[in-house]
Copies of this chain bind each other. A is one copy, B any other.
Amino acid sequence: MSDVPLGIGIDFGGTSVKTGVLYRGNVIEEAPRIDTQKFEDAAPLIEEIAKLVKELRTRHPKIEAVGVGMPGFVDFPTGMVHNLTNVKGWKRIFLKKELSERINLPVTVENDANCMAYAEWKRGSGRGLNHLVALTLGTGVGGGFVVDGRMVRGANFVAGELGQTSIDYQGPDGTYGNRGALEDYIGNQQITDMAKAAYEAAGNPQSDEDCSPAHLAKVAEDGDKVALEIWDRIAKKLSTALMNCCWLLNPEAIIIGGGVAKAGSLLFGPLDDYLRNQLSPAFKQNLRILPARFGNEAGIVGAATLALEEAGFDVDDH
């Protein structure tokens, strides 16, 4: 492996913590997952992560940096995690300091959607671009932006929250009182609810399972009218938030990942139409709408890549 530095990427989720070793953009080893909910407090979970990192280092001595993607707001310079709503004890945790002291390696902590965006920018569909909107569609809607070749973090490092933007000023209150928040329309559960209501209205009630995004994609492929209509409605709502990003930031590309994006052309087809029909000729023909390259590995790849860059390594070469 000569002198190419390796990185560790940690994808910290509400259910499990996934850890992988990155070499030249590839995850060459994934460690056993840690069950997030097993821990009553932050300290023992950090201890467990440190143990895992130390073990990986015995096999990969060239590991130079560790990146962690967190499902919540992070104060980027200090690596302080503000608050995790679904994980016990995670409130104002200085994760960067706590972890780096234990493992004696540089640690970078970043919001998970920004890590996903970073992976796509540096190693994925957005490679070489300077103006990028990346988003991930799953339980919620996460986003990360690149403007003029730099990650947008904002004054308090909480920029990029596409899922919290409004598509309806008269919509229902969101998590932060934000009316008509995008993720309250097209998060996984909200899609299921929307589909259940539509099937019921059509006199053909369906189970929660049959209304999951994955199943809706399957039956829509087979021509199910209600499911096709649901994908159209998802595309219309998503197009509004993305059109706003285009008018505000004028990106070269929009990169879409996450479970819901697996619907492929069922989503990308109508989305492309809705979006381009709401933009100016001055820029709409240049806009690219691309599927993400990375799936479940996006968090690991992005966190490790970012950590290596923050530690002073140039990842463009490897």
Residue ranges of A at the interface with B (Cβ–Cβ < 8 Å) = 73, 82, 130-131, 143, 145, 147-148, 150, 152-162, 164-170, 174, 176-180, 236-237, 239-240, 243-245, 247-252, 277-280, 282-283, 286
Chain B CB within 10 Å, residue with most, of A153, A180, A282: A282
Q: Which residue of B lies closest to A173 (CB)?
A: B278
Q: Which B residue sits closest to A287, measured CB to CB? A: B155
Using Cβ atoms and an 8 Å threshold, which residues of chain B touch A282?
73, 82, 156, 158
The distance in angstroms between the C-alpha atoms of A252 and B158, with both chains bound, is 12
Contact status of A250 and B158, CB under 8 A, knowing A168-B168, A169-B237: yes
Q: In the docked arrangement, what's the CA distance between A159 and B64, Å?
A: 38
Q: Is the CB of B152 within 8 A of A249?
A: yes
Q: Which of B152, B161, B245, B251 contacts A148 (CB 8 A)?
A: B152
Question: Per a CB cutoff under 8 Å, which of B174, B240, B280 touches A176?
Answer: B280
With A131-B154, A178-B278, A279-B176 already in contact, the answer to whether A248 and B169 are too (CB < 8 A) is: no
What are the 5 closest A-B residue pairs judged by CB atoms, nearest first? A154-B250, A169-B240, A159-B250, A178-B278, A156-B283
Q: Tell me which of B153, B179, B249, B277 contacts A154 (CB under 8 A).
A: B249
* A249 CB to nearest B CB, Å: 5
Q: Is there an interface contact between A252 and B167, defined as CB atoms closer than 8 Å?
A: no
Residues in B neighbouring A245, C-beta threshold 8 A: 248
In the bound assembly, the distance between CA atoms of A158 and B282 in angstroms comes to: 8
Q: Inside 8 A of A157's CB, which chain B residues have their CB? A: 250
A280 (CB) vs chain B CBs: closest residue = B176
Give Cα distance in the complex from A282 to B175, angstroms.
13
In contact, B155 and A131 (Cβ under 8 angstroms): yes
Q: Report the Cα distance A242→B177, complex, angstroms.
A: 14
Question: Please, could you name 5 A-B residue pairs with CB atoms under 8 Å apart, sorted by A?
Answer: A147-B148, A157-B250, A166-B243, A167-B169, A179-B278
Q: Bound state CA distance, A250 and B145, in angstroms?
A: 12
**A139 to B: closest C-beta gap in Å:** 18
A282: nearest chain-B partner, CB-CB: B73
Q: Which residue of B lies closest to A162 (CB)?
A: B248
A247-B278 contact, Cβ under 8 Å, with A252-B155, A286-B155: no
CA distance A236 to B177 in the complex (A): 13
* Residue among A154, A179, A245, A247 with the highest chain B CB neighbour number at 10 A: A247
A249-B178 Cα distance, complex, nearest whole Å? 16
Interchain CB contact under 8 A, B249 and A177: no
CB distance from A88 to the nearest CB of B (A): 20
Give bound CA distance, A166 to B166, whole Å: 9
What separation, in Å, do the CA atoms of A157 and B180 have in the docked complex? Answer: 29
A55 to B263, alpha carbons, bound, how many Å? 64
Q: Report the minimum CB–CB distance from A284 to chain B (whole Å).
A: 9
Partner of A244, one of B82, B145, B244, B278: B244
Contact B243 A178 (CB under 8 A): yes
Q: Are B130 and A155 in contact (CB under 8 A)?
A: yes
Which residues of B are found within 8 Å of A166, using beta-carbon distances? 167, 240, 243-244, 278
